[in-house]
Amino acid sequence: MGMISRSILWLSVAIMIFFKPVQVLSKSTIEPCDGSDTCNSMVGYILPTELKISEVSTLFQVDPVSLLGANGIDLSYPDIENQILPAHYFIRVPITCGCVDGIRKSMSVVYKVKAADTLPSIANNVFGGLVTSDQLKDANSITDPDVIDIGQSLTIPLPCSCFNGTDNGLAAIYLSYVVRPGDTMAALGAKYGTTVTDLMTVNAMGTPVISPGDILSIPLAACTSSISKYSSDSHLLVANGSYTITASHCVQCSCGPGNLNLYCAPAPLAVSCSSMQCKKSDLMLGNTTTQPTSGGCNVTTCFYNGFLNGTILTSLSTSLQPQCPGIQVMPNFTGPPSTTTLIGMVPSPSPSPSPGVLPLPKSPSGVISSPIITGFAPANGPTGSSSSAPESLRWVSIASFLLLGLPFVIHFGDCQLFH
């Protein structure tokens, strides 16, 4: 028995000496590009610790209102920007996707180095694996990755995709998603309302095999607009189950859940806004009148047509439809999640088809007023996601596994030794 023990010990030492750790590289979708065009995109971020909504928006340098809209969190919730999101909470962060050195990426986020920061800790702890330490090194022309200064500004090259804002010919916004332990292509497809085949096509994959740390581009069905090409928001695109605030925070445009027709109405906290009444009509933005006839239903709607030089543009549309449309159903707006929410308990990112609105009041003239918005369910990541904080250094007993003839893996931070 002593001979066996010494043999096992010798083998363990030999393995540690002669086998070098193998760097396990994560896969990421790369979209080639040329020119200077941009698009709206998103990254999925898991909070490493409790953070205020304002802190998340500051980290990614995005408008807090845009962050709320992307996740369907009620804008009118009291003191919303100071509400605390729980650790491990999945949140969608809207970003502008550009073209840099022939590859789609976002370079708008700048991070200031803090005490005890390293490139790996910034990549993995702060930004949840959305970027690698090597990418940070290259993007900031760092010669020695072990030497960064407190207060130094680092550009964070975030992954993103545009793919012309479409998926299979339909409007889409792309979410850059970091694969978590337990994720599968089938589960991700089901959660985000797409198929394994589509995910494989978008990400140029030969097989549906994914590993933790891989970054996938996931198409999210979206509502597109037909507003004036001269408008400052002419390329408005809103993911299903979310909303955006536009026209200098005066107009709220929502997508879903019943259809992919963009619906715009006065924002709940709109102040100091130009007129939102359609010309030659008593209708306000978002209002619809219906008049049943023997040949169908005359429908007149006041639509949003853009924002130009501080003026909200509206247009009046009249059509004869087979039947009168029902009440405009809005996605469910809710307050922010409580800090006791666990990521395995959050709802699916796909919007619920259930109505979540109060009945719309009708005036004697048959005018349907703008819906009373009651809330939007948070758009969260797949069940089973976990913290993006790196695992502690873990060692396994090589001797025990060799004795039992079992396979083992030794973890050296981001490196792994397989047997």
Indicate whether 415 pLDDT > 70: no
Helix, strand or coil for residue 144?
A: coil
Q: Which residues of 1-30 are buried (b: 16+ CB within 10 A; e: fewer)?
A: eeeeeeebeeebeeeeeeeeeeeeeebbbb
Indicate whether 385 pLDDT > 50: no
Range of weakest confidence among 83-87, 179-183, 344-348: 344-348
Q: Which two tokens stand for residue 386?
A: 């976990």
pLDDT band for position 120 (cuts 50, 70, 90)? very high
Give the bridge partners for 308, in sequence order.
311
Q: What span, in angstroms and rounded, lies between the C-alpha atoms of 285 and 270?
A: 13
DSSP code of residue 387: -
**Mean pLDDT, residues 344-365:** 35
* Percent of the chain predicted with pLDDT > 70: 73
pLDDT in tens, 32-58: 999 889 999 999 999 999 999 999 999
**Mean pLDDT, residues 395-405:** 35
Q: What span, in angstroms and rounded, lies between the C-alpha atoms of 216 and 203?
A: 7
**Mean pLDDT, residues 85-101:** 96
Dmax (CA) of the chain = 98
Determine contact, residues 382/187, Cβ cutoff 8 Å.
Answer: yes
- State the pairing for strand pair 311-321/296-308: antiparallel
- Tell me which residue has tokens 């590009």: 33
Average pLDDT, the chain: 79
Measured from the Cβ of residue 180, the count of other Cβ atoms closer than 10 Å reads: 24
CA distances from 217 to 29, 42, 192, 198, 257 (A): 7, 10, 11, 11, 22
Indicate whether 363 pLDDT > 50: no
Q: What span, in angstroms and rounded, lies between the C-alpha atoms of 35 and 388?
A: 34
Q: Which of 120, 6, 62, 18 minimizes the C-alpha distance to 391?
A: 120
* Residue 145: its H or E element: none
Determine contact, residues 56/86, Cβ cutoff 8 Å.
Answer: no
- Tell me which residue has tokens 């981001």: 414
